[in-house]
Amino acid sequence: MSAKGSEKFVFISGGVISSLGKGISAASIGSLLESRGLSVTFIKMDPYINVDPGTMSPFQHGEVYVLSDGSETDLDLGHYERFTSVKLARHNNFTSGQVYEKVIANERQGKYLGRTVQVIPHITDEIKRRIQKAARGYDVCIVEVGGTVGDIESLPFLEAIRQMRIECEPNQTAFVHVTLVPYIDTAGEVKTKPTQHSVRDLREIGIYPDILLCRCKTLLTDEIRRKIALFSNVKTEFVISACDAACVYDIPLKLHEQGLDTAIVRRLNLRRAQEANIVPWRNLSKAVSEAKQEIVIGIIGKYTSLEDSYKSFNEALFHGGIANKTRVSIEYIDADNLNARNVKQLLKGIDGILIPGGFGARGVEGMMSALKFARENDIPAIGICYGMQLMVIEFCRSLCGISDATSTEFEVPGTPVVDLMEEQKKVVSKGGTMRLGDFECVFEKDAPVAQIYGRKKIVERHRHRWEVNNDYVEQFEEAGLKVYGRNPETNLVEVVGIPEHPFYMGCQYHPEFLSKPLSPHPLYEGFVRSICKRKKKS
């Protein structure tokens, strides 16, 4: 198999330890190449056997990031979309599970003509086929290899990209290795040995990195860069410090200042590349550092011990802050610890609350105590998906006289004000079977949410099975919780809110997946604005 297309590839691997920020590095490279007028796309290759992360617990995997086409993907795709203008699709994220599933299906169909099916070449060919397909038509495809060099699981991916270097034209591939250069207190200096070893591991499997992105506390000295270059067999100007940054959105700027995009443009001989226009990122960085006011938002959920579970929420709230020249700090509150008796105490100092998405019955009483408290005390509150369903249940219990209002998801007896969608009742398989991806929502005339968006009709991303039960809408609308928007085809409730409250709104969809630092989502911007307004008054 050969790669004859004109698209170029940046392959990103990680060494020494996990969580070095390969995803942010890939996203930053994408933003810099876009700022040079190039078209980019991304691929994340995940080494696990699950077909996608949709069935994994947030504790295992962090957030599941949902794309427009309804695919449930790795949270790194969120970074890619936030840092660039790309709109990704199913083929931009694949797992070992998907690759094996396809190869085994081919084998059952007799496509290998009686040959023994092996990792090399059959699995690696399937990996290369997927990479080339997703890259077609773009100037540059940035491919992130999940896992850390040395892991058994990611070996077929590394082998596939090794083969691609040989099969592609000389300037068609660049290998970027993200590594760690730790500062050791007792020695009083940074240590390059872990990087040397990690590059050696890569070279053992035939991959010779072109560019090293060295995660470090402060800029590496030229002497250290020369040393790393010498031992790793790369050019000194291609050894780049990726320093810790106070704000992730400063990273493209910092990498640009050190010549990362120039290094890639040179390595790939990208003749169409223009001068980088990084003004928007510079303005953003300035806006973030100049934010004066500070507000605290409480995210009340059940996966609060792992911040990555709420990645897109954190980012969207941060973007909403930027739009309001406000620093948003987030406090994670474990719903299991919250109840009607301690809610006042535990929400002290919180300016607004967000109830995020979730599944199952654990923690719902705590979340509903927080919602009730916010509703009764004019504290701005936003409920996302599960959060909106809980808004409806709490309201029905407190103000509609339906004291046993519940969702059938909780598997307790009661009045199902939130119920399973008709088409979901038949579904038994778990993966990819929810109401997923883009659906339209049309707002009611005069609904406050329409002003916030400045539009009557929107398209947002979804990921759920349960719905507000239309049989109870009249009852809760009469009591003051209004339906602000519905899906025009199915009449399903999409947005609810209390018009008299400073901000009490829930949506069945996930607006956080559409928010970007350079274009904050109107709903999060509006939520933060209402908090700032209320804070100014008090």
58 binding ligand GLN? (CB under 6 A): no
Q: How far is the CB of 436 from ligand GLN (least distance, A)?
A: 10
CA distance 346 to 85: 39
Taking contact as CB under 6 A, which single stretch among the options 447-455, 457-465, 472-480, 522-530 is the one that binds ligand GLN? Answer: 457-465
52 binding ligand GLN? (CB under 6 A): no
Q: Is 39 helix (H, G, I), strand (E, B) or coil?
A: coil
200 binding ligand GLN? (CB under 6 A): no
Q: Is 411 a catalytic residue?
A: no
Partnered with residue 174 across adjacent β-strands are 10
Q: Which of residues 123-152 bind ligand GLN (CB under 6 A)?
A: none
91 binding ligand GLN? (CB under 6 A): no
Contact, 181 vs 190, CB < 8 A? Answer: yes
357 binding ligand GLN? (CB under 6 A): yes
Using the rule CB under 6 A, which residue among 74, 409, 494, 525 binds ligand GLN? 409
Q: Which of 510, 521, 525, 532 is catalytic?
A: 510
Token pair listed for 80: 């890619």
Cα dist from 156 to 56, 107, 143, 162, 171, whole Å:
23, 18, 14, 10, 23
Indicate the helix (H) or strand (E) that contains 460. strand 457-464
Partnered with residue 215 across adjacent β-strands are 180, 242
DSSP string, 278-335: -HHHHHHHHHHHH--EEEEEEEEES-TT-GGGGHHHHHHHHHHHHHTTEEEEEEEEEG
Q: Is 256 a catalytic residue?
A: no
Taking contact as CB under 6 A, which single stretch among the options 35-43, 108-116, 245-253, 354-362 is the one that binds ligand GLN? Answer: 354-362
529 binding ligand GLN? (CB under 6 A): no
CA distance 427 to 491: 21
In sequence order, the 6+-apart residues with CB closer than 8 A to the CB of 284 are 249, 322, 517, 518
Cα dist from 420 to 135, 361, 435, whole Å:
39, 15, 11
358 binding ligand GLN? (CB under 6 A): yes
- Between 29 and 364, CB nearer to ligand GLN: 364
Q: Which of 7, 144, 494, 512 is catalytic?
A: 512
Taking contact as CB under 6 A, which single stretch among the options 108-116, 265-273, 352-360, 370-378 is the one that binds ligand GLN? Answer: 352-360
- Between 11 and 466, CB nearer to ligand GLN: 466
- CA 58 vs. chain centroid, Å, equals 12
- Between 157 and 466, CB nearer to ligand GLN: 466
Q: Which residue is nearest to ligand GLN (CB)?
A: 357
CA distance 330 to 343: 17
- Between 54 and 320, CB nearer to ligand GLN: 54
Q: Is the peptide bond before 502 cis (omega within 30 degrees of 0)?
A: no
Contact, 506 vs 518, CB < 8 A? Answer: no
100 binding ligand GLN? (CB under 6 A): no
Taking contact as CB under 6 A, which single stretch among the options 259-267, 298-306, 357-365, 425-433 is the one that binds ligand GLN? Answer: 357-365
Number of residues interacting with ligand GLN: please give it, by CB under 6 A: 10
380 binding ligand GLN? (CB under 6 A): no
- Between 61 and 464, CB nearer to ligand GLN: 464
Cα dist from 238 to 45, 172, 222, 225, whole Å:
24, 17, 12, 9
- Which phi and psi (to 5°) does residue 451 adopt? -65, -40
Q: Is 512 a catalytic residue?
A: yes
CA distance 83 to 23: 11
Q: Which of residues 458-517 bind ligand GLN (CB under 6 A)?
A: 463-466
303 binding ligand GLN? (CB under 6 A): no
Q: How far is the CB of 204 from ligand GLN (least distance, A)?
A: 43
- Between 17 and 427, CB nearer to ligand GLN: 427
Q: Which of 216, 385, 396, 441 is catalytic?
A: 385
Taking contact as CB under 6 A, which single stretch among the options 320-328, 334-342, 356-364, 393-401 is the one that binds ligand GLN? Answer: 356-364
Q: Count Cα neighbours of 367 within 13 Å in the Cβ-side half-sphere.
A: 29
Using the rule CB under 6 A, which residue among 112, 208, 332, 359 binds ligand GLN? 359
From 498, 506, 476, select the one nearest 400 (Cα to Cα): 476
Token pair listed for 432: 């990819």
Contact footprint for ligand GLN (CB under 6 A): 357-359, 385-386, 409, 463-466
Q: Which residues are catalytic?
A: 385, 510, 512
